[in-house]
RNA sequence: GUGGAUGUAGCUCAGUGGUUAGAGCACUGGAUUGUGGUUCCAGGGGUCGUCGGUUCAAUCCCGAUCUUCCACCCCA
């Protein structure tokens, strides 16, 4: 029988799981350090919650769940005849798999607003699904690791998110650069250009600056119907030189006529002032070409890139002023970030950055020689486990070669042998599998040696 | 969603319009009845992605479909 799994999904074996858990645990522990609390939401949401929140593209990428039971009976005859999936679909599907963690979170906040303590700091590490066409580093099922603060306008939140990013990548030993921009500044730019209604086209185009270059961006803008005069005015903004302070200063004069632009610059200034007082490993820079696709961002936007590997962003986020408004709770501002665990995995693999001990599962294997030996071993095994030592006994009295081979394959560092000789002396032979050395020890010594956590 | 490539043993890959399709690694057994990683010997395992067409004959040629990969769109 041929087995397979759906397109764009993956299995994870034990070795991959321990590496992935290392990443998840690192991220979660930093989230906890900053006072964030975990929540989980269901894999599926009502389509009414999901639809229309990610733009037209996003709606197409939603996985929809077929209604259970005899789902065709609810379809009116005329819809059935039309064969148009657009009008047909609502009758046969009312649930979908979540597309990200932010929208379900917004729904969660609205639904539980009376139980929550605001400002609410939550983190969430769960799978999301997108019916995208898979390629390298892009899957139809993947994890997101989100932290958001909701119910606070303070820019201190943005500043602390930068600290969190720094702390996570410091612990993972990945050199990064954090790029920051502000959606209000982008709106200001569109306003100055006299193209306030084209803000989406403009931001999408200038987001491609580092990828396709200035000339292509200008071409794309022309094609989208932005006037040549406006593009000429845009050019000096994209080519701003100098450090952050200088960039902000020149931007302030360029955007003098835009109120929203000035507001954005103020916010950026405050954020960078905070960040300047932190002792960070990561570089933090102002990048006016950073746009981020998601259209619910309204203030700061972040993106993190690895310095030692070209793989796109490994973390991103921003402020959204009214995400809960669509669920009937207006005026609640939030800001959050999302770590891309799958890409961080690829970066660590590339840098050989996974710690050796994260792979070890069993510390000691007891060789099985037979029933009498089993009875001798089991109480000691129980004691080892009570001391927090991962240990196992081979379940059958198979050939030594096979049992030793099992230890090799599982990369178990110690093997314990206890047969007639050892039983007579009430001792155990402890073998170090990497050096091949072995010693005769008591059960007390066994526990003592195996409790040491050094890597061998 | 658009364009291009790909699919042969568990894995990495050879190969041919014509008898029983191969290698390395892995697996199982033996050399070796309390000592693994090395070596040697033997063995099991494939409707050559799936369906259809051309042909006396297809794993090979053609078409469709699915998978994986690459670029675009978009994104983590």
CA dihedral A433, A439, A442, A445 (to 10 degrees): -70
pLDDT at A66: 85
Alpha carbons A228 and A221: distance in angstroms, whole number: 9
Q: Digits of tens for pLDDT over chain A (456 positions)? A: 567 788 888 888 787 888 889 999 999 999 999 999 999 999 999 999 999 888 778 888 899 888 887 777 777 777 666 666 666 777 788 899 999 999 999 999 999 999 999 999 999 999 999 998 888 778 899 999 999 999 999 999 999 999 999 999 999 999 999 999 999 998 898 888 887 777 777 777 777 777 777 777 888 788 777 788 888 888 888 788 788 889 999 999 989 999 999 999 999 999 999 999 999 999 999 988 887 666 778 999 999 988 887 777 889 999 998 889 989 999 899 999 999 888 898 888 878 888 876 566 789 999 999 999 999 999 999 999 999 999 999 988 888 888 998 888 888 899 999 999 899 999 999 999 988 889 999 999 999 999 976 544
Residues contacting A408, CB < 8 A, separation 6+: A433
Tally of domains in chain A: 2
Dihedral sign for Cα A405, A407, A413, A416, please. negative
**Residue where a domain stops, chosen among A350, A372, A395:** A350
Q: What is the pLDDT of residue A294?
A: 62
For residue A54, tell me if it sits in a domain. no
Residue A257's SS3 state is: coil
Q: In this structure, are A234 and A185 located in the same domain?
A: yes
Task: Kindly state whether residues A343 and A368 are assigned to the same domain.
Answer: no
Q: Name the β-bridge partners of A138.
A: A135
My answer on whether A387 and A262 are in the same domain is no
Token representation of residue A340: 């891309």
Residue A3 included in any domain: no
**Looking at the domain assignment, is residue A80 inside a domain?**
no
How far the first Cα of chain A sits from its last, in Å, is 42
Find out whether the peptide bond into A82 is cis, omega within 30 degrees of 0.
no
A122 CA to B68 C1' in angstroms comes to 37
Q: How far is the CA of A23 from the C1' of B35 (A)?
A: 37
Scan residues 48-77 of chain A and list those with Cβ within 7 Å of strand B. 57
Q: Which of residues 74-103 of A touch strand B (CB under 7 A)?
A: 100
Instruction: Identify whether residues A166 and A311 lie together within a single domain.
Output: yes
Residue A85 belongs to a domain: no
CA dihedral A47, A338, A55, A80 (to 10 degrees): -30
- Residue A312 CB in 7 A reach of strand B: yes
Span CA (A16) to C1' (B73), Å: 31
Classify residue A10 by its DSSP letter: -
Which residues of A spanning 289-308 put their CB closer than 7 angstroms to strand B?
Answer: 292-294
Residues 6 or more apart in contact with residue A173 via CB below 8 angstroms:
A351, A353
Distance A135 CA to B8 C1' (A): 24
Query: What is residue A357's predicted lDDT score, i.e. its pLDDT?
Result: 64
Four-CA torsion A72, A78, A82, A88, nearest 10 degrees: -40
Domain boundary among A325, A350, A375: A350
Q: What phi-psi label fits residue A424: left (phi over 0), alpha (psi between -120 and 50 degrees) or beta?
A: alpha
Does the CB of A270 fall within 7 Å of any strand B atom?
no
Q: Are residues A325 and A385 in the same domain?
A: no
Residue A225 belongs to a domain? yes
Residue A4: per-residue pLDDT: 75
CA A237 to chain centre: 32
- Rounded Cα gap, residues A132 and A127, in angstroms: 15
Tell me the ipTM for this assembly: 0.81
- Claim to verify: residue A166 and residue A291 sit in the same structural domain: yes
Task: Assess if residue A26 is contained within a domain.
Answer: yes
Instruction: Tokens 């102002």: give the residue.
Output: A286
Domain boundary among A298, A325, A350: A350
- The 3-state secondary structure of A286-331, one letter per residue: ECCCCCCCCCCCCCEEEEEEECCCCCCEEEEEEEECCCHHHHCCCC
A192 in the same domain as A298: yes
Determine contact, residues A82/A88, Cβ cutoff 8 Å. yes
Covered bases, chain B (protein CB within 7 Å): 1-2, 27-30, 32, 34-37, 49, 66-76
Give the nucleotide at minimum CA-to-C1' distance from A420: B34
A372 shares a domain with A289:
no
Q: Compute the distance between CA of residue A321 and CA of residue A183 in angstroms, rounded to an integer.
A: 11
Whether A254 maps to a domain, the answer reads yes
Q: Find which nucleotide's C1' atom is closest to A60's CA.
A: B1
Integer Cα distance of A432 and A168 in angstroms: 35
CA A244/CA A270 separation, integer angstroms:
12
Distances in Å between the alpha carbon of A260 and those of A132, A188, A192, A251?
A: 35, 6, 10, 13
Scan residues 327-366 of chain A and list those with Cβ within 7 Å of strand B: 338, 340, 342-343
Same-domain status, A385 and A317: no
Instruction: Please indicate, yes or no, whether residues A131 and A210 belong to a single structural domain of this protein.
Output: yes
Q: Are residues A130 and A250 in the same domain?
A: yes
Report which of residues 394-423 in chain A place their beta carbon less than 7 angstroms from any atom of strand B: 399-402, 404-405, 407-409, 417-422
CA atom of A373 to C1′ atom of B29, Å: 26
Q: Closest CA to B34 C1' — which residue?
A: A400
Contact A316, A294 (CB under 8 A): no
- Asked, for residue A153, whether it belongs to a domain, the answer is yes
Give A13 CA → B46 C1' in Å.
Answer: 25
- Cβ of A138 less than 7 A from strand B: yes
CATH number of the domain residue A252 falls in: 3.30.930.10
Please check whether residue A414 is in contact with residue A432, taking contact to mean a CB–CB distance below 8 angstroms.
yes
Answer yes or no: do A328 and A416 share one domain.
no
Whole-number pLDDT of residue A224? 75
Separation in Å: B26 C1' and A346 CA = 26
Domain that holds residue A202: 14-38+114-350
Here the CATH number for the domain that contains residue A385 is 3.40.50.800
Tell me if A332 sits within 8 A of A109, measured CB to CB: yes
* A170: Cβ contacts below 8 Å, ≥ 6 apart: A281, A282
Q: What are the backbone dihedrals phi and psi of residue A322, each rounded to the nearest 5 degrees, phi first? A: -145, 45
């Amino acid at each position: 029988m041929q087995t397979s799994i759906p397109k764009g999904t993956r299995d994870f074996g034990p070795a991959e799981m321990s590496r992935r858990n290392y990443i998840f645990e690192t991220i979660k522990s930093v989230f906890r350090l900053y006072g964030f609390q975990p929540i989980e939401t269901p894999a599926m949401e009502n389509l009414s919650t999901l639809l229309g929140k990610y733009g037209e593209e996003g709606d197409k990428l939603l996985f929809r769940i077929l209604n259970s039971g005899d789902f065709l009976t609810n379809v009116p005859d005329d819809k059935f005849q039309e064969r148009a999936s657009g009008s047909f679909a609502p009758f046969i599907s009312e649930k979908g798999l979540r597309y990200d963690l932010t929208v379900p979170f917004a729904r969660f906040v609205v639904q539980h607003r009376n139980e929550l303590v605001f400002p609410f700091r939550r983190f969430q590490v769960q799978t999301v699904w997108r019916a995208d066409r898979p390629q390298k580093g892009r899957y139809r099922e993947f994890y997101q690791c989100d932290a958001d603060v909701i119910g606070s306008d303070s820019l201190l939140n943005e500043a602390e998110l930068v600290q969190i990013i720094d702390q996570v990548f410091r612990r993972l030993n990945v050199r990064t650069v954090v790029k920051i921009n502000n959606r209000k500044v982008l709106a200001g730019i569109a306003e100055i250009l006299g193209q306030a209604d084209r803000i989406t086209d403009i931001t999408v185009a200038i987001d491609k600056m580092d990828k396709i270059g200035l000339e292509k961006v200008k071409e794309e803008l022309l094609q989208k119907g932005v006037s040549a005069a406006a593009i000429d005015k845009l050019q000096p903004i994209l080519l701003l030189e100098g450090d952050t302070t200088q960039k902000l200063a020149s931007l302030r004069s360029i955007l003098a006529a835009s109120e929203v632009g000035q507001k954005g610059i103020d916010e950026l200034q405050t954020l960078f002032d905070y960040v300047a007082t932190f002792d960070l490993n990561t570089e933090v820079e102002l990048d006016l070409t950073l746009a981020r696709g998601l259209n619910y961002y309204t203030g700061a936007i972040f993106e993190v890139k690895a310095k030692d590997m070209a793989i796109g962003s490994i973390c991103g986020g921003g402020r959204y002023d009214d995400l809960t408004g669509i669920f009937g709770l207006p005026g609640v501002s939030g800001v959050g970030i999302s770590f891309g665990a799958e890409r961080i995995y690829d970066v660590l693999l590339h840098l050989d950055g996974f710690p050796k001990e994260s792979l070890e599962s069993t510390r000691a294997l007891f060789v099985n020689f037979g029933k009498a030996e089993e009875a001798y071993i089991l109480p000691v095994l129980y004691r080892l486990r009570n001391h927090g030592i991962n240990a196992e006994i081979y379940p059958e009295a198979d050939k030594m070669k096979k049992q030793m081979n099992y230890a090799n394959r599982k990369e178990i560092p110690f093997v314990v042998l206890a047969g007639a000789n050892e039983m007579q002396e009430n001792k155990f032979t402890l073998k170090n599998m990497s050096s091949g050395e072995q010693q005769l020890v008591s059960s007390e010594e066994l526990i003592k040696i195996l409790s040491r956590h050094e890597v061998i």
